[in-house]
């Protein structure tokens, strides 16, 4: 899937500015970002659900705008919502969604149910399913036509750990079958665990793209986090003369340019006290913090 | 894809007891209640009792009682005293009373009754008295005849002849509510996003959503008219083809109205709280609950702004007038088609696939 100059405006509000992104065949690409970053809008445009204001989307060479049916037949969308008919059985749901793709072979439906571990619950109405089972069926409904590209939009929201693990296993097994997957999430650890590459979005812009190692190496830095008391704002300003500083309340993340000593001196000189020093291993979370100035959990909540 | 959508939506409807009740059970309840309340047509069923008192052996009184007994639609009920007559009228045991004393004949009637009810009764009883007291035996002075071009109505018209189509039209429009709710539900649950992501042209998605409700609407009206004939003794005086054509036009109109409602994009809660009220008001104006014939002329004219009144005019003609053909109901059918086209056009202009 190739996105070129893709953007969406809602009136005066720019939801996605101008996005260039290539999803490589066979990879799992994680799309990470806080609420309102533009992830779902990007996915919706990529799947032909929302018409872009600008730019193009091509899937396996088919332009979504000009040749929508050919492009859409290559992809399966698993929306963030539980997009199922509660009063129908799992089997009836998959039969209907399969019919939209001209899939009528019962073996395909049985396969999709088997992949998500619901083969023995096929005849039960969805309203009797647990939240985790519904999430899994939601994935099966996007899989029933065996797409080449599967787009999973926050597939683990509100599920128990057991179902979450099952979903992870499903995603891994699909990748092993050669399926290309775009996986959006609020959960950093999910993206770290599953994805080959990660795209980070904020305020409608793609701010970083690369493998986990590349992102951490390039953006995570080697800083420490200080918990301050006293005039934290003045201390952060003073520290900025010697380091890159990002602040969340009393927590100030410091990436010193010339050692930690001048930074500590500047903070104490500004009348603040250091209550705690925390040094964390560089990971995707620290990279995200460095890129956006915010912790993902805080902004996603 | 359309076949699968029909199957899916019919299945969902069958699982939804509330919607089934509003489409099939409520109309039957309304038909029974209203059908038992109203009587129409030349044969009004049980003759209306009219109390009468006159002094024993009084020639005038006996002549009036005799004339009253001979008048179709009235049953003379002789009482023992003038006060008994007045009490019977006050207690609503009889429609009116006649007291034949020495002076002018006293017509006892509740003057607070609506003029539409009191006027015909007062006029008819005055005629009975005048005929009885005429010095010579008068030949019939007035003979009622339908004008040329209007087919003769059926004899023995019951209330169901009017209340079955009235409630069929009223609740036939509830398919608009069901359709709009279905769109709102698809958007709310996210299945609409899934449908938009499928390799199906958008016009086909929309068409696929409308067709099942069109078929459900036809089935609903077939059930209601079928019950009308089989259970309530409703007669179809005109052509069945005309009835079918009118019904198709009505369902198309109702479905287009549903599309228009859906195009506003409200939530299920908003649609469920506002649209039934709108539909009931439309039905009321259109004469679904109280026939427009008994409404004041201004209200009869206002009623023409809703499709219900046109549909009911058509149904009344088909069900009551013998020999009615499709040509005889051309005006209601064209009006319903025009409403359907207008609603559909507005709905399509307003409808947003992406919200």
Residue B146, domain member (yes or no): no
In A254-273, the residues whose Cβ lies within 8 Å of chain B are none
Last residue of a domain, one of B99, B133, B167: B133
Report the alpha-carbon distance of residue A113 to residue A136 in Å, rounded.
9
A44 reaches B (C-beta below 8 A): yes
Residue B180, domain member (yes or no): yes
Q: Find the closest chain A residue to B11 by CA distance.
A: A88
CA distance A55 to chain B (A): 18
Residue pLDDT, tens place only, B295-304: 888 999 999 9
In A78-137, the residues whose Cβ lies within 8 Å of chain B are 79-88, 92, 95-97, 99-102
Instruction: Give me the mean pLDDT over the B266-279 stretch.
Output: 94
SS (H, E, C) chain A: CEEEEEEEEECCEEEEEEEEEECCCCCEEEEECCCCCCHHHHHHHHCCCCCCCEEEEEECCEECCCCHHHHHCCEEEECCCCCCCCCCEHHHHHHHHHHHCCCCCHHHHHHHHHHCCCHHHCCCEHHHCCHHHHHHHHHHHHHCCCCCEEEEECCCCCCCHHHHHHHHHHHHHHHHCCCEEEEEECCHHHHHHHCCEEEEEECCEEEEEEEHHHHHHHHHCCCEEEEEEECHHHHHHHHCCCEEEEEECCEEEEEECCCCHHHHHHHHHCCEEEEEEECCCCCHHHHHHHHHCCCHHHHHC
B198 reaches A (C-beta below 8 A): yes
Report DSSP state, residue B154.
P
pLDDT at B32 over 60: yes
pLDDT at B39 over 70: no
Residue B290, domain member (yes or no): yes
Q: Do B4 and A99 touch (CB under 8 A)?
A: yes
Last residue of a domain, one of B133, B150, B180: B133
- At residue B43, the pLDDT reads 47
Cα pseudo-dihedral B15, B21, B24, B26, rounded to 10: 180
Question: Strand, coil or helix: what is B54?
Answer: strand
Mean pLDDT of chain B: 90
Instruction: Give me the mean pLDDT over the A141-152 stretch.
Output: 95
Among the partner-chain residues B15, B190, B199, the one whose CB lies closest to the CB of A69 is B199
Report the alpha-carbon distance of residue A223 to residue A221 in Å, rounded.
6
Residue pLDDT, tens place only, B76-99: 999 999 999 999 999 999 989 999
Residue B346, domain member (yes or no): yes
Q: Which long-range contacts (CB under 8 A, 24 or more apart) does B64-72 make?
A: B64/B98, B64/B100, B64/B105, B64/B128, B64/B129, B64/B132, B64/B133, B66/B132, B67/B128, B67/B129, B67/B131, B67/B132, B68/B98, B68/B125, B68/B128, B68/B132, B71/B124, B71/B128, B72/B47
| Statement to judge: residues B35 and B53 lie in one domain | no
pLDDT at B40 over 70: no
Among the partner-chain residues B5, B191, B196, the one whose CB lies closest to the CB of A48 is B196
| Statement to judge: residues B310 and B191 lie in one domain | yes
Q: Find the closest chain B residue to A91 by CA distance.
A: B8
Report the alpha-carbon distance of residue B355 to residue B341 in Å, rounded.
24
Residue B98, domain member (yes or no): yes
Domains held by chain B: number = 2
B211 reaches A (C-beta below 8 A): no
Instruction: Give me the mean pLDDT over the A27-38 stretch.
Output: 90
A-B contacts (CB, under 8 Å): 79
CATH number, domain at B104?
3.40.190.10
| Statement to judge: residues B264 and B337 lie in one domain | yes
Interface probe for A, chosen from B18, B191, B194, B205 (most Cβ of A below 10 Å), is B194
- At residue B42, the pLDDT reads 45
Backbone angles phi, psi at A255, to 5 degrees: -120, 95
For tokens 């018209």, the residue is B157
- At residue A300, the pLDDT reads 46
Q: How confident is the model at residue A221 (pLDDT cuts 50, 70, 90)?
A: low
Instruction: Give me the mean pLDDT over the A9-16 stretch.
Output: 93
Q: Do B197 and A47 touch (CB under 8 A)?
A: yes
| Statement to judge: residues B243 and B97 lie in one domain | no
Q: How confident is the model at residue A215 (pLDDT cuts 50, 70, 90)?
A: confident
| Statement to judge: residues B262 and B327 lie in one domain | yes
B207 reaches A (C-beta below 8 A): no
- At residue A301, the pLDDT reads 41
Report the alpha-carbon distance of residue A79 to residue A137 in Å, rounded.
12
Residue A181, beta-bridge partner list: A28, A150
| Statement to judge: residues B163 and B107 lie in one domain | no
ipTM, two decimals, is: 0.81
| Statement to judge: residues B225 and B341 lie in one domain | yes
Residue B167, domain member (yes or no): yes
Q: Do A92 and B8 touch (CB under 8 A)?
A: yes
Domain assignment of residue B60, given as a range: 48-133
Among the partner-chain residues A73, A88, A102, the one whose CB lies closest to the CB of B12 is A88
Residue pLDDT, tens place only, B134-184: 877 777 777 877 777 777 777 767 788 889 999 999 999 999 999 999 999
Give B4's contacts in chain A (Cβ within 8 Å): 95-96, 99-100
B268 reaches A (C-beta below 8 A): no
Q: Do A69 and B200 touch (CB under 8 A)?
A: yes
Residue A278, beta-bridge partner list: A225
Residue B144, domain member (yes or no): no
- Residue A115: left if φ>0, alpha if ψ -120 to 50, beta else—which one? alpha
Q: Do A81 and B190 touch (CB under 8 A)?
A: yes
Query: Of all helices (H) and strands (E), which one includes residue B108?
Result: strand B106-108
In B137-196, the residues whose Cβ lies within 8 Å of chain A are 189-191, 193-196
Give A69's contacts in chain B (Cβ within 8 Å): 199-201
| Statement to judge: residues B113 and B257 lie in one domain | no
| Statement to judge: residues B101 and B128 lie in one domain | yes
| Statement to judge: residues B307 and B252 lie in one domain | yes
Report the alpha-carbon distance of residue B227 to residue B25 in Å, rounded.
12
| Statement to judge: residues B304 and B179 lie in one domain | yes
Q: Determine the length of chain B.
A: 355
Q: How confident is the model at residue A157 (pLDDT cuts 50, 70, 90)?
A: confident
| Statement to judge: residues B257 and B193 lie in one domain | yes
Q: Are strands A180-185 and A149-153 parallel, antiparallel or unpaired?
A: parallel
Residue B139, domain member (yes or no): no
Q: Do B195 and A100 touch (CB under 8 A)?
A: yes
Q: How confident is the model at residue A235 (pLDDT cuts 50, 70, 90)?
A: very high
Give A101's contacts in chain B (Cβ within 8 Å): 198-199
Last residue of a domain, one of B133, B166, B193: B133
């Amino acid at each position: 899937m190739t996105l070129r100059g893709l953007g969406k405006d809602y009136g005066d509000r720019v939801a996605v500015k101008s996005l260039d992104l290539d999803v490589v065949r066979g990879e799992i690409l994680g799309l990470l970002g806080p609420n309102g970053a533009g992830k779902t809008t990007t996915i919706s445009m990529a799947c032909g659900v929302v018409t872009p204001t600008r730019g193009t989307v091509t899937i396996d060479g088919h332009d979504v705008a000009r040749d929508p049916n050919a492009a859409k037949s290559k992809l399966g969308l698993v929306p963030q919502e539980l997009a199922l008919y509660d009063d129908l059985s799992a089997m009836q749901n998959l039969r209907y969604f399969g019919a939209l793709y001209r899939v009528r072979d019962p073996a395909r439906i049985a396969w999709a149910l088997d992949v998500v571990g619901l083969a023995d619950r096929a005849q039960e109405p969805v309203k009797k399913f647990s939240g985790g089972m519904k999430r899994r069926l939601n994935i099966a409904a996007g899989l029933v036509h065996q797409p080449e590209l599967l787009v999973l939009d926050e597939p683990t929201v509100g599920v128990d750990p057991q179902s979450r693990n099952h979903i992870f296993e499903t995603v891994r097994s699909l990748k092993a079958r050669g399926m290309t997957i775009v996986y959006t999430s609020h959960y950093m650890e999910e993206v770290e665990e599953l994805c080959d590459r990660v795209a980070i979005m904020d305020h409608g812009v793609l701010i970083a793209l690369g493998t986990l190692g590349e992102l951490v190496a390039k953006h995570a830095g080697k800083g420490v986090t200080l918990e301050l008391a006293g005039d934290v704002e003045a201390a952060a300003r003073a520290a900025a003369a010697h380091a890159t500083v990002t602040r969340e309340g009393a927590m100030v993340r410091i990436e010193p340019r010339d050692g930690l000593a001048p930074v500590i001196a500047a903070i104490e000189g500004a009348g603040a006290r250091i209550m705690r020093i925390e040094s964390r291993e560089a990971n995707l979370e620290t990279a995200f913090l460095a890129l956006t100035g915010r912790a993902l959990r805080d902004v996603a909540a | 894809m359309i076949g699968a959508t029909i199957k899916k939506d019919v299945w969902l409807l069958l699982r939804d007891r509330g919607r089934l009740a509003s489409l099939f059970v409520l109309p039957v309840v309304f038909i029974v209640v209203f059908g038992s309340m109203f009587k129409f047509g030349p044969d009004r069923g049980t003759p209306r009792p009219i109390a009468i008192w006159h002094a024993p052996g009084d020639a005038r009184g006996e002549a009036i009682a005799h004339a009253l007994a001979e008048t179709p639609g009235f049953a003379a009920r002789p009482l023992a005293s003038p006060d008994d007559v007045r009490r019977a009228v006050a207690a609503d045991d009889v429609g009116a009373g006649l007291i034949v004393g020495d002076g002018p004949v006293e017509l006892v009637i509740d003057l607070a009754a609506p003029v539409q009810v009191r006027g015909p009764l007062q006029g008819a009883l005055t005629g009975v008295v005048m005929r009885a007291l005429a010095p010579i035996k008068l030949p019939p002075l007035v003979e009622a005849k339908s004008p040329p071009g209007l087919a003769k109505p059926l004899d023995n018209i019951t209330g169901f002849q009017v209340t079955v189509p009235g409630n069929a039209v009223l609740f036939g429009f509830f398919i608009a509510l069901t359709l709009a709710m279905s769109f709102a539900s698809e958007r709310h649950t996210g299945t609409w996003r899934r449908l938009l992501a499928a390799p199906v042209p958008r016009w086909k998605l929309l068409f696929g959503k409308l067709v099942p409700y069109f078929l459900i609407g036809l089935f609903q009206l077939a059930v209601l008219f079928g019950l009308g004939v089989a259970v309530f003794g409703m007669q179809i005086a005109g052509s069945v083809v005309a009835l079918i054509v009118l019904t198709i036009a009505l369902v198309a109109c109702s479905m287009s109205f549903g599309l228009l409602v859906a195009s506003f994009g409200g939530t299920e809660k908003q649609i469920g709280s506002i649209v039934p009220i709108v539909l009931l008001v439309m039905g009321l104006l259109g004469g679904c609950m109280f026939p427009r014939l008994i409404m004041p002329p201004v209200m009869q004219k206002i009623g023409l702004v809703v499709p219900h009144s046109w549909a009911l005019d058509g149904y009344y003609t088909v069900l009551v007038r013998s020999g009615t053909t499709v040509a005889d109901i051309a005006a209601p059918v064209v009006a319903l088609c025009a409403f359907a086209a207008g609603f559909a056009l507005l709905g399509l202009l307003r409808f947003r696939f992406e919200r």
